[in-house]
Chain A
């Protein structure tokens, strides 16, 4: 069970209010974001403390850092090399967790209504659409790629028209 703080509740309400019938989607996304925010905060705090303690310790605790640990290799070198390991651990933790977020977001947005109300006249905008890429994956040739782009473009425009056309339509809210 996820507990929302007051600010989170406000965000959630704002999302529902402004995203209209996609409100249920926003709530799911919000839930994933709460988890993501916590993970990112912890990873960042850990990473910053660990990283900045290297220049701080070498500046303010030189005796500790210069203590030879193995042969003439001092603590500073081991600490410096451990930063690489830390980077590896953060990448690993992030990659594994992000995979879960991806799946949760995918489920949340499976039914999302795709509208692009910004620049319907602009075909390059379509390029940015995630679904567009899924189409290009199956088509190697550039020609087909373009054809798809146009079909996609047309179908989106049609969908828009069915919904009433104007981006200012009350239906959005």
Chain B
């Protein structure tokens, strides 16, 4: 590890710990802990959402994918970005208007039964742990490559840092770590892109024509189809990406940190703007890596291409720029995982501990204690899993996460907000069908079954890498069928009063059916 790299890493660690120290002093109630007291402005929250969402998969993964496969890598950028339109149009504002601290609040505003608290908290914690494990495995591999740190130590360092931000600083620390990360990431990316462009005399067309001659693909490098060959699989992936974001608990709880729906709108629009700039720039990162590092060298160092951005920085600006980019990648991972720990911790403490175990009667102090214990607990589980699963294929986990989010959370959220005849049996059916169909289809698909020697990849039961195109409609279908069968359960009076609240943020009592059971 060079002195510069060490310096940058220590600076990031000290900076984020200072933020946590400051945030810990601001955090005195559960409202502060879970939702930063609703004090963030729309733009601040927009930056934090961008920081929460743009994971290592975006920065390192997409630039690597573009460097290896050209156009197909860029499809990911578009899917990730456009998923925010679904949030903007349908989910974000209603979530703010009826939610309090967690995704469970939103679903339980429609179905106040404790079983829904239990289900949503379980699925949130499950998705969050999966997400953390995927990020920690990636972080371990990255720090091993960048710093020469031992894998186990790398995972332990990142895991301990993320847990301490959340335990001590709650949502306030998480938000500001994410804001700082977004600013760093944008600055770093912009800097590299400007250097890349300056090497081509600011002519991006020239860059495109050079790239089309630089790889073994030749002209085909710029054409679609180098990576995604199955049209149905491509469609399925895009569907899961676009709808999955609207079901990610760590993104949904970010909407609860501002004071009203108008601020939520500002947040989502500014996040979309910031991410739009970033995802556009991934083209330059990817192409720059092809031209200045070379495809062969990229594959030599890391076959998945994840080192494209740091290696590009090394060849453009030497050790200094590489150290800076490595530190940005480190901050990127930290900011994302602490957002995820926050989601898991609030789901456990608020939904499970307060509403399921204590039946809504837990005091402030007990809730804070439960939330802190929960963040330490999930942090430890994630660290242990990540250490045991070093060889885990991160892509499988990420596709599973998006698929579960799109088939378990999205249908229930969407229908609870907008469908008057949705019943609790329908919600239950949608959640269970979404969960089991996505997990079973993924297990039967080429990712898992295709990798088992006996099957040798020839006889996979389900041909698609991403089961979204089946599991998402299946979940909606289950919701419809079960709601139709149990139409006498539908509480339209409650829906109407809730509907006014989703639209205006002001509650109108329905007179029945909206009490906690």
Residues of A within 8 A of B (CB): 11, 14-15, 17-20, 22, 25-26, 29, 32-33, 36, 40, 43-44, 47, 51-52, 54-56, 58-60, 62, 65-66, 70-74, 76-77, 80-81, 83-84, 87-88, 90-91, 94-95, 98, 102, 105, 108-109, 112-119, 122, 124-125, 127-130, 133, 136-137, 142, 145-146, 167-168, 172-173
Residues of B within 8 Å of A98, CB to CB, are 93, 262, 265
Residues of A within 8 Å of B231, CB to CB, are 55-56, 59-60
Asked, given contacts A11-B496, A136-B259, A146-B29, whether A18 binds B74 with beta carbons under 8 Å apart, the answer is no
Residues of B within 8 A of A (CB): 26, 28-32, 35, 37-39, 71, 74-75, 78, 81-82, 84-85, 88-90, 93, 99-100, 205, 208-209, 212, 219, 222-225, 228, 231, 234-235, 238-239, 242, 259-262, 265, 269, 272-273, 276, 279-280, 360, 364, 420, 492-493, 496-497, 499-500, 503-512, 514-516
Q: Quick one: which of A11, A77, A112, A136 contacts B508, CB cutoff 8 A?
A: A112
- Smallest CB separation, B89 vs chain A (Å): 6
Q: Are B505 and A14 in contact (CB under 8 A)?
A: no
Give chain B's interface secondary structure class. helix
Q: Are A26 and B496 in contact (CB under 8 A)?
A: yes
- Smallest CB separation, B444 vs chain A (Å): 23
Q: Are A51 and B238 in contact (CB under 8 A)?
A: yes
Residues of A within 8 Å of B507, CB to CB, are 114-116, 118, 129
Asked, given contacts A94-B89, A130-B260, whether A105 binds B503 with beta carbons under 8 Å apart, the answer is yes
Q: Are B506 and A109 in contact (CB under 8 A)?
A: yes
16 examples of A-B residue contacts, CB within 8 angstroms:
A47-B82, A55-B75, A55-B234, A55-B235, A65-B224, A71-B209, A77-B71, A80-B78, A84-B78, A87-B82, A87-B85, A91-B85, A95-B265, A115-B507, A119-B516, A142-B32
Q: Are B219 and A127 in contact (CB under 8 A)?
A: no
Residues of A within 8 Å of B78, CB to CB, are 51, 54, 80, 83-84
Give chain A's interface secondary structure class. helix
Q: Are B276 and A87 in contact (CB under 8 A)?
A: yes
Q: Are A74 and B222 in contact (CB under 8 A)?
A: yes
Beyond known contacts A62-B225, A66-B223, A133-B259: 17 more, CB 8 A cutoff: A14-B492, A18-B496, A22-B500, A44-B89, A51-B242, A54-B75, A56-B231, A71-B205, A74-B223, A76-B224, A83-B78, A84-B81, A84-B279, A91-B269, A98-B93, A128-B100, A172-B509
- Smallest CB separation, A130 vs chain B (Å): 5
| Smallest CB gap from A12: residue in B | B496
Residues of A within 8 Å of B99, CB to CB, are 128
- Smallest CB separation, B210 vs chain A (Å): 9
| Smallest CB gap from B512: residue in A | A168
Residues of B within 8 Å of A125, CB to CB, are 100
Asked, given contacts A72-B219, A76-B71, A112-B508, whether A127 binds B209 with beta carbons under 8 Å apart, the answer is no
Asked, given contacts A71-B209, A80-B74, A142-B26, whether A118 binds B515 with beta carbons under 8 Å apart, the answer is yes
Q: Are A15 and B496 in contact (CB under 8 A)?
A: yes
Asked, given contacts A32-B503, A66-B223, whether A83 binds B82 with beta carbons under 8 Å apart, the answer is yes
Q: Are A118 and B514 in contact (CB under 8 A)?
A: yes
Residues of A within 8 Å of B273, CB to CB, are 88, 91
Q: Which 9 A-B residue pairings sit nearest by Cβ, starting from the closest?
A: A59-B231, A58-B224, A133-B259, A172-B511, A18-B493, A117-B509, A55-B234, A71-B205, A15-B496
